[in-house]
Amino acid sequence: MKSFADLIRERQSVRRFDDRPVSEEIVRACIEAARLSPSASNAQPWSFIVVNEPELTKQVAHATFDKLVPFNKFVPQAPVIVAFVIEKTKTITRLGGAIKDRDFQWCDHGIAAAHFCLMAAEQGVGTCMLGWFNEKKVKKLLAIPRKKRISMLIAMGYPPDDYHIREKIRKPSEAVLSFNKYDIGR
């Protein structure tokens, strides 16, 4: 079994998928990881729509790019796309967020998405979080009520055999870390 540190190193955005389908069991395990993730006041302001019917999956995939923004053109290769829908939070969390000017729901979704993708990585399945998509179109395709928001889509599938784990491109820790006082970029 992989260590958590290995999983963090090996999880990467996968932008090529082969023809292998992803089993419902694996998709459910990833959803379970997201479902068990923490959220502000334990409000769990989410629902997850799994799109695995091939024709519908293609239609949703085609709502993630267009002529002007072509970078998600790989998404139609994904056999599964999961939509993270923002659900109503608790009143106390909403009020707290408004008073403190913090959007807890979007934070919660980020954490849930990380859990999802790490679980997929453990199963050998690749994922790519997608923040760029035509939300109106996707909501229509999936019958998501107009007033709700989709925080992100996650494309998932098996990377081809020649897909390698890339070196992570990240700011060095000296550029993002300080102890006891803010000492960044000085």
Ligand X SMILES: Cc1cc2nc3c(=O)[nH]c(=O)nc-3n(C[C@H](O)[C@H](O)[C@H](O)COP(=O)(O)O)c2cc1C
Of the two residues 50 and 74, which places its CB atom closer to ligand X in the complex?
Answer: 74
Residue 102's CB: how many other CB atoms inside 10 A? 13
Q: Which listed range, 2-10, 43-51, 83-91, 125-133, lies at the site for ligand X (CB under 6 A)? A: 125-133
Cβ atoms of residues 51 and 62 within 8 Å: no
Using CB under 6 A as the binding rule, whether residue 132 contacts ligand X is answered as yes
Q: How far is the CB of 170 from ligand X (least distance, A)?
A: 8
From candidates 71, 103, 148, 165, binder to ligand X by CB under 6 A:
71
Q: Which amino acid is at 185?
A: G
Helix, strand, or coil (residue 175): helix
Stretch that binds ligand X, among 54-62, 83-91, 123-131, 136-144 (CB under 6 A): 123-131
Binding mask 3-42 for ligand X (x = CB under 6 A): ---------xx-x---------------------------
The order of strands in the sheet holding 46-51 is 46-51, 80-86, 149-157, 126-130
Of 40 and 128, CB closest to ligand X: 128
Query: Is the Cβ–Cβ distance between 159 and 16 less than 8 Å?
Result: yes
Q: Tell whether residue 131 is a contact of ligand X (CB under 6 A).
A: yes
Q: How far is the CB of 123 from ligand X (least distance, A)?
A: 17
Judged on CB neighbours under 10 Å (0-12, 13-18, 19+), 51 is: buried
Strands (E), 22-144: 46-51, 80-86, 126-130
Interface residues with ligand X (CB under 6 A)? 12-13, 15, 71-72, 128-132, 152, 168
